[in-house]
Amino acid sequence: MKRLLLAAFAVLLTLPALAAERVAVPRPANFVTAEEWGSKPDPLPDSRRHTPRFVTLHHAGVTWTTDRDPVTFIRNMQAWGKRRPEIEQPPRDTFWADLPYHFLIAPDGRIFEGRPLEYEPESNTKYDLAGHLGVEMMGNFEEQRPSPAQVESAVRLAAWLVSKYDLPLEAISTHAKVAKNQTTCPGRDFNRYCQGDPWPFRTWVEQVLHGEEPAIELGEPLEGGPTVLITETLPVAKP
Ligand SMILES: [Zn+2]
């Protein structure tokens, strides 16, 4: 009898865990579809189809300045991918029929739809691309700090994808971690949220998965920088 009571107590103890079950996370509100921004991809071959299993975070690695326009930036990247065989040297001269990333997040938090989710991404680094959903944040976080809106969109987007494909939190990673010793992407000022136990970024995603508001807290500027916010990076004056 005593054992039975203990068993019943154990069941009661698990109830709070059940209450924290995942909710179905909706697509973030500030979403711009490929059609809306005027995407013009070439067809992707069936050989590039994959099943999404990972959400992999990137930065563009290009310093963002306040005079830039996100839509122009994305259109140029898509056009460049298709022209790589003509303008790039090997091994960067492979043809990219569409954007290398599945999503691109602007400094104002807008999420632009890139490559269709059913196809693996592209990369100039070496790792098994199948299964990865590439989420790129515009800017260079070695030299500038992400905006709060950009980080919040990355969290809500990752939560939507993890929810949509029923992935574990550990499916969220960074380019530097999946392509070891090849890149610092997504940059010093973002990587700090993707380390420790648990990662702050995964904790914020988990909060969204539980139907809560993510308690995102961005740290003070790191010693040695970067110090300037992406939304405050002025264009370099032309001579
Ligand atoms: Zn990257």
Distance 208 CA to ligand 1 centre (A): 24
Give me the pLDDT at residue 102, please.
Answer: 98
Comparing CA positions, the residue from 57, 64, 63 lying closest to residue 186 is 57
Distance 186 CA to ligand 1 centre (A): 6
67: Cβ contacts below 8 Å, ≥ 6 apart: 235
Distance 57 CA to ligand 1 centre (A): 7
Distance 175 CA to ligand 1 centre (A): 5
226: Cβ contacts below 8 Å, ≥ 6 apart: 141, 142, 143, 144, 145, 188, 189
Question: What are 124-152's pLDDT values in tens digits?
Answer: 999 999 999 999 999 999 999 999 999 99
The domain locations on the chain are 50-232
Over 80: is that where the pLDDT of 20 sits? no
Over 70: is that where the pLDDT of 8 sits? no
Distance 190 CA to ligand 1 centre (A): 12
Distance 220 CA to ligand 1 centre (A): 24
Question: What are 72-105's pLDDT values in tens digits?
Answer: 999 999 999 999 999 999 999 999 999 999 999 9
Distance 215 CA to ligand 1 centre (A): 25
Over 80: is that where the pLDDT of 16 sits? no
Give me the pLDDT at residue 236, please.
Answer: 87
Distance 18 CA to ligand 1 centre (A): 36
Over 90: is that where the pLDDT of 1 sits? no
Distance 94 CA to ligand 1 centre (A): 17
**Residue 84 or 9, more confident:** 84
Distance 134 CA to ligand 1 centre (A): 8
Question: What are 101-118's pLDDT values in tens digits?
Answer: 999 999 999 999 999 999
Distance 147 CA to ligand 1 centre (A): 18
DSSP 137-161: ESS-TTTSBPPHHHHHHHHHHHHHH
Over 60: is that where the pLDDT of 12 sits? no
Question: What are 28-71's pLDDT values in tens digits?
Answer: 999 999 999 999 999 999 999 999 999 999 999 999 999 999 99
The answer, as to whether pTM is greater than 0.85, is yes
Over 60: is that where the pLDDT of 157 sits? yes
| Average pLDDT rounded to a whole number, residues 187-202 | 98
**Residue 191 or 4, more confident:** 191
Give me the pLDDT at residue 14, please.
Answer: 55
CA 134 to chain centre: 6
Over 80: is that where the pLDDT of 11 sits? no
Distance 184 CA to ligand 1 centre (A): 8
Distance 121 CA to ligand 1 centre (A): 11
CATH architecture of the domain with residue range 50-232: 3-Layer(aba) Sandwich (3.40)
- How many degrees, rounded to 5, is the angle at CA 233 between CA 227 and CA 237? 125
Distance 189 CA to ligand 1 centre (A): 14
Give me the pLDDT at residue 6, please.
Answer: 60
